[in-house]
Chains A and B, each alone.
Chain A
């Protein structure tokens, strides 16, 4: 039994944590809030690349480190801890993983090295931008794609994109598209968390090529793995929100005593802690499942996503509450957590979808099709 990370993985974590503390991820996010022209923190992104974060899961043959999912899990947690404004989820957890798992030899050779050193940013598009009343699925035909995706996280800064499309028969197909072409039109769209900006992207018969094994099952697998990694980001962020609330409860005095000595406050913080520890257990289980390709992975991923979303959402909301009036001001960093909790809670689909998926997996278990 070893339901924990290895000492090597913990060392990797320490390196990332030290760097992110020094580079002050929260303040970088703050500066993005104030300066809308920047889409991400290039210094942090480059620093992470120097530590090998983007390269961790990419094979050595493609200029990666040839490590695995567990290294990405610890990196995700540390990135989440400081709400680092970087395209980690889009580029590393979804795009690079999709190419690594389902791409052709040529696609891997062409794109993985750039994704590994962070010089290329990738993303994905699943949701159709139906704000114009047009809800048609993005179609792929004869090496081109037609449609509009949005919101696409990091859509303004990405060089390449995995476009979830339908082929002529209506089957799901993952198309890899180089966004630097005139048939692609990007438009920024505003999100609740400006430190993680998004775009709407129109494909006017843009040139794209299919990932050879990129079908519906492949997409589900990518989504499950991304859900676990994002859950670690949520876990790290929730931990910081809790620490911040505890610190304030220690400092603030009302009615002649520290507010942290009031049970109403204390018990709220204990509830935050319990939800976080529950989420941690499910995150670890998810990490085990995706790192070993276990057949329980869909259930474990849903468990990680549901519990981490719940823990972070609760921690972000109640962190504001503990801070009182100061918590709702622009100057306080409480709203950075509040914003990120919503963004991360929704970007891979809401809890309704994942709870439903979780129960579907339990039903399969009951039928005996999974252990």
Chain B
């Protein structure tokens, strides 16, 4: 048992670190959202040129021909640098991980040739058009319709929670092509040009006031059949591949560093005494460290599994479950330590408070995005603990049948 890299991995780590030191540009002050995207694109182009955009892929596809463990090492090293991220993940992870991984399994040779190279270079950015207003957790309930029109398809419907939709060039869209079939069976996947006529992207303003998600309205968007990914009415399997690509980076994401909580507790006073001397606060700091550092350890376990050529287990689901809830708790603990001053914003309390405020606003979103706490528990229970599946009354009946209760929205 040790935490050391093999000599080869250590050498790769050193190379990567030197490369990142050279290629990560310093972040300009007062960066506009457009500059943020441009800076991220420049780094991705450099990564693609060096093979770092898809480390574990064969060189023929623009990868490095490296190992999964090298991918993880790159991710670990990259997280030490001030690179652009989206929701704590790699800026382009939707395209690089989710979409590209899906293409490798389901796309035709022509589609791979058309989509992969510009995706790797950052020339074309991808988003995911899966969730809809009427269903997020219940993904197979999508209502967006795709109707055949000669050699094309016409897509109409509404998608939501589209990360990066406002600067994306393409979207991977799950649509319903046959509503008379049971819900998992009548779905088809398409690559949709986000600049095509009939596509409208509207930002969603989140409770923090920021806008990082979007609504996407599709109104008779014409998509050639050559942009269909996988079989007609075979979209659910394609979607499962996309979801299975999700190597959540939750383990490298920490909302509030326990040391930050500790620093606050040394300065703050509770009942006239330093907060750090209060046993209740010490208990909460201990829990924060156990969960936060524990997830880093879980990442080491994934790395060990990869190094042995094994597939990492469901650790990543646990990581998101634990990190998001702890982030929310930690923010509240920090605020409670300030007493009445805890109601103030980071603008009043200073730079140091930004991570606390961010955790407080973002943790609730993170507990929902990419599988809610509840969905993740169900996944752990059914896939890992092998408990019997939930009873699903809408499973084997026509999607457009009248017996199924529906959400009112949409």
Contacts and interface: CB of A to CB of B under 8 A. Distances in A.
A366 B295 CA distance: 20
A284 interface: yes
Contact of A250 (B287, B303, B388): B388
Interface string A1-21: 111111000000000000000
Contact of B283 (A273, A288, A355): A355
Interface string A253-287: 00001101101011101110110011001101101
Given A266-B378, A303-B289, A288 B2 contact: yes
B15 interface: no
A267 B378 contact: yes
Given A270-B381, A271-B377, A362-B259, A4 B297 contact: no
Contacts of B390: 261, 263, 266
A242 to B, nearest CB: 8
A365 interface: yes
B301 A284 contact: yes
Nearest to A361: B289
A346 B282 CA distance: 19
Interface string B285-298: 11101110111011
Interface string A215-259: 000000000000000000000000000100010011000000110
A303 B293 contact: yes
Contacts of B382: 266
Interface string A298-312: 000011001100000
B1 interface: yes
Contacts of B303: 1, 3
B317 to A, nearest CB: 9
Contacts, number: 149
A70 interface: yes
A267 B318 contact: no
A359 interface: yes
B307 interface: yes
Given A4-B304, A278-B291, A356-B282, A261 B377 contact: no
B333 to A, nearest CB: 13
Contacts of A278: 290-291, 294, 298, 318, 322
A303 B290 contact: yes
Contact of B1 (A3, A261, A302, A356): A3
A266 B377 contact: yes
Contact of B290 (A266, A274, A307): A307
Contacts of A70: 1
A277 B315 contact: yes
Interface in B326-367: none
A130 interface: no
Contacts of A6: 1
Contact of B386 (A1, A246, A281, A285): A246
A212 to B, nearest CB: 31
B401 to A, nearest CB: 23
B268 interface: no
Interface residues of B, number: 52
B304 A1 contact: yes
B300 interface: yes
B387 A362 contact: no
A336 to B, nearest CB: 22
A282 B294 contact: yes
A258 B388 contact: yes
Contacts of B386: 246, 250
Contacts of A242: 385
A291 interface: yes
Given A5-B1, A277-B315, A288-B2, A269 B300 contact: no
Interface in B252-303: 258-259, 262-263, 276, 279, 282-283, 285-287, 289-291, 293-295, 297-298, 300-301, 303
A4 B382 CA distance: 26
A369 B387 CA distance: 48
Interface string B365-382: 000000000101110111
13 contacts: A6-B1, A257-B391, A260-B381, A260-B388, A263-B390, A273-B384, A277-B318, A278-B318, A284-B301, A291-B1, A355-B287, A359-B285, A365-B259
